[in-house]
Amino acid sequence: MTTTAPTRPARRLGDAVFRRRRPILLAALLVFLAAALVGSGTMNALVLSRFEAPGSESIVAGERLDRDFGVGSANFLLLVTAADGDVDSAASAAAGAALTAELAALDPVAAVQSYWDAQSPALRSEDGAQALVTAYLPGEVTFVREEVLPQLKTEFTREGGAIAVAVGGSDELFREAAQLAREDFLLAEAIVIPGLLLLLIALYRRPVAAFLTLGVGLFALAVSLAAMRAVAAATEVSTFAANLILVMSIGLAVDYCLFVVNRFREEAAVHDRAEAVARTVASAGRTVVYSAVTVAASLSVLLLMPFPFLRSFGYAGIIVPLAAVLGAAVVLPAALAVWGGRVERRRPPRPVEQGRWFRSATAVMRRPILWGAAALVLVGVLASPLAGVRFGVPDERALPEDAPSRVVADQIAAGFTAEETDALLVHVSGADRSGLAAYAAALSEVDGIAQVDSASGRFVDGLPAGDGDPGRFAWSGDATWVSAVPTVAAMREDPYAMVGQIRDLEAPFAVAVSGYPADLADFRDALLDRLPLILGLIVLITFVILFLMTGSLIAPIKALILNGLSLAVMFGALVWVFQEGHLSGLIGFTPQGSFEPSIPILMFCIAFGLSMDYEVFMLARIKEEYDRIGDRLGSIAVGLQRSAPLVTAAALVLAFTFAVYATGDVVFLQMLGLGMALAVVVDATVIRGVLLPAIMRLTGRVNWWAPAPLRRLHDRIGLRD
């Protein structure tokens, strides 16, 4: 077997790794121990985030309401159930009033409202057996959810007596989701690490190789968590980023190690160990660097999002590939220099021509149209549900049915006609009482609004419905505020349209709309506004990287097309499973009939980076073989035989690490786990195993073509080393 001679700079790095192998391993051990110590506190340094767009109308209006009137969205509630089945009975009313006063007296609590104070129909269930007490808990979201809510939940969860009390609300839902995500993180660690070890032993058939690979994965995890803690000290990082760090740091590091170990085995078969290590660093080490840069570039665009939640994954997306490539391209080769004899194959590999991937690639290239068409039909069928995708708002159905806050939310959705905690709060400036009354009446006629409360009274369907709770709606000069309570059905169906109608409603004075539905609408709009920029940058960056690696104008275009097909399959499956509800009983979730838009965008960036990761591995090996033998078709078959088994094994590893989350309790993580597992498997088999050789056969001589000016540019700045 002949391999391409390493270029000099990479060769110097490989030689240095071999010469300093023991100091490198000692330094890696010390770094791992220090990183593990620092990273052990990362979870406590991460924060919880709301779906908010900083600087949007809803946020600015919310700040004004808090400043001028001390009110805000009701993010905490008590669901009160009367023991005698009637919240209007004397015993229930007295107990409810006492409960309201007790809650209002607490320092962290502001703007308490209860059915017994306001006599609001929105706060009473249709059967009269339950009522609500709502409150606004001001302050930083992590402090509220981590410090205030647990105490309030313990204090106000009650059974017995005239009333039973259960705690709920939007912040409690998010708090429980974050807690379940932490538990899923710990469970995933307990499953992924031993499971990966067994899988690696089966793949390598050499335990030492498996232990070294898993060790590099743990090294990458520790370094990533420690680095994320440093980032969290400087800016806000979401607690959900830890889940991504676990699955990607171990998964990517193991993927990279598979390629490094395999290349070392190839080189060790014909060279001494020093030469084998140097050549491995110069070839496979170079390729994993390209791959890490590609993955990091795909996820780094999330830093352009104006939301701490998504930016958190951008930080993780940069840190994790760098930590993984440090372990795979430096630490692992040093370990191979010491223990390489226990990693080498016991038997010589079979000739390339006898390999399954060589034979399959050759068969595909004999009939590229037939095989390509069959693969496209399969991709089209798997992707077809994507045509019916629908975007909505997150709600309690993201949690398991037995989660306490979901139980409360389900009872409210079933028993109440309106969603008081999702009220739209309108800051009004320059109004008089008559104008305010006319505006409130018109507001109550908007589709999806159950009632409107204001200083001028309560309005339903455009008509006065009583005085409401005048003491709740103060005036500050010519400024006041209005509460528009949506129906349960409106929040389930299309809250974005409802918010748009309210904002389009003409008023003879200045108004600004806040509240949870407005927060979600502004979040979605800001997300969609940035989406073209994000997609454009991902395409541009990956195109440039692949051009610099291959010198071809066609190869990057084909890679982007294949990536698009892989992503279409992933999103089609997500729609079929999570939107339409297939397999919900098996996986254990409640379908919502729609998607919250930020999660698919996150998954797009991750899946795009990982798909391009496989493209880099395959193209690098095919290009290497083409440069070596000059056979444009033979290089495809040989390159696939050299890389495809590893890509398949890498896909199996990543699919396993992602799939662990499909068994979790939070729908967002289940989507991430199942969607990514499916994406990497389909990408590594149907897309790269069939469509890649078929397209390369059809494009023939132009596979490595570029116009003369770009060829000259690549000659000057191309990434050969």
Structure confidence at residue 720 (pLDDT): 56
The answer for residues whose C-beta is within 8 angstroms of residue 226's C-beta and 6 or more apart is 34, 35, 36, 38, 39, 42
Q: Which of 73-87, 480-494, 584-598 has the lowest mean pLDDT?
A: 584-598
Residues 199-232: tens digit of each pLDDT: 999 889 899 999 999 999 999 999 999 999 999 9
Pairing outcome for strands 424-429 and 479-486 = antiparallel
Structure confidence at residue 379 (pLDDT): 94
When pLDDT is cut at 50, 70 and 90, the band that residue 5 belongs to is very low
In the numeric block, the tokens 């620092």 are attached to 38
When pLDDT is cut at 50, 70 and 90, the band that residue 154 belongs to is very high
Task: Pick 563 or 24 by higher pLDDT.
Answer: 24
Residues 95-128: tens digit of each pLDDT: 999 999 999 999 889 889 999 988 889 999 999 9
Structure confidence at residue 63 (pLDDT): 92
Length of the chain: 721
Sheet of strand 510-514, all strands in order from the earlier edge strand to the far edge: 463-464, 457-460, 449-454, 479-486, 424-429, 510-514
Q: How much is the average pLDDT of 546-571?
A: 90
Domain with CATH 1.20.1640.10 in the chain: 1-40+206-349, 352-401+522-721
pLDDT exceeds cutoff 50 at 2: no
Task: Pick 369 or 713 by higher pLDDT.
Answer: 369
Q: How much is the average pLDDT of 137-159?
A: 88
Structure confidence at residue 271 (pLDDT): 92
Q: Give the separation between CA 75 and CA 70, rounded to whole angstroms.
A: 14
Q: Give the separation between CA 295 and CA 283, rounded to whole angstroms.
A: 19
Q: Do 676 and 608 contact (CB within 8 A), yes or no?
A: no
DSSP letter string over 129-166? SEEEEEEE--S-HHHIIIIIHHHHHHHH-B-SSSEEEE
Q: Do 93 and 116 contact (CB within 8 A), yes or no?
A: yes
Structure confidence at residue 82 (pLDDT): 95
Q: Which CATH class is domain 76-168?
A: alpha beta
Q: Give the separation between CA 99 and CA 165, rounded to whole angstroms.
A: 9
Task: Name the DSSP letter for residue 476.
Answer: B
DSSP letter string over 589-649? ----SSB-THHHHHHHHHHHHHHHHHHHHHHHHHHHHHHHH--TTHHHHHHHHHHHHHHHH
Pairing outcome for strands 110-114 and 424-429 = unpaired
Domain with CATH 3.30.70 in the chain: 76-168
Structure confidence at residue 6 (pLDDT): 45
Would you give the end-to-end CA distance of the chain in angstroms? 22
Q: Give the separation between CA 227 and CA 315, rounded to whole angstroms.
A: 9
Structure confidence at residue 98 (pLDDT): 95
Tokens of 55: 């600087």
Structure confidence at residue 491 (pLDDT): 87
Pairing outcome for strands 424-429 and 463-464 = unpaired
Q: Give the separation between CA 455 and CA 458, rounded to whole angstroms.
A: 8
Residues 603-629: tens digit of each pLDDT: 888 888 888 777 888 888 888 888 888
Q: Do 173 and 406 contact (CB within 8 A), yes or no?
A: yes
Q: Give the separation between CA 721 and CA 14, rounded to whole angstroms.
A: 12
Q: Give the separation between CA 320 and CA 293, rounded to whole angstroms.
A: 11
Q: How much is the average pLDDT of 234-248?
A: 85
Average pLDDT taken over every residue of the chain: 88
Task: Pick 337 or 585 by higher pLDDT.
Answer: 337
When pLDDT is cut at 50, 70 and 90, the band that residue 3 belongs to is very low
Q: Which CATH number fits domain 1-40+206-349: 1.20.1640.10, 1.20.1530.20, 2.30.30.30, 3.40.50.1820?
A: 1.20.1640.10
Structure confidence at residue 170 (pLDDT): 86
When pLDDT is cut at 50, 70 and 90, the band that residue 280 belongs to is very high
Q: Give the separation between CA 197 and CA 615, rounded to whole angstroms.
A: 26
Domain over 352-401+522-721 is classified CATH 1.20.1640.10: yes
Q: Which of 27-31, 652-656, 694-698 has the lowest mean pLDDT?
A: 652-656
When pLDDT is cut at 50, 70 and 90, the band that residue 50 belongs to is low
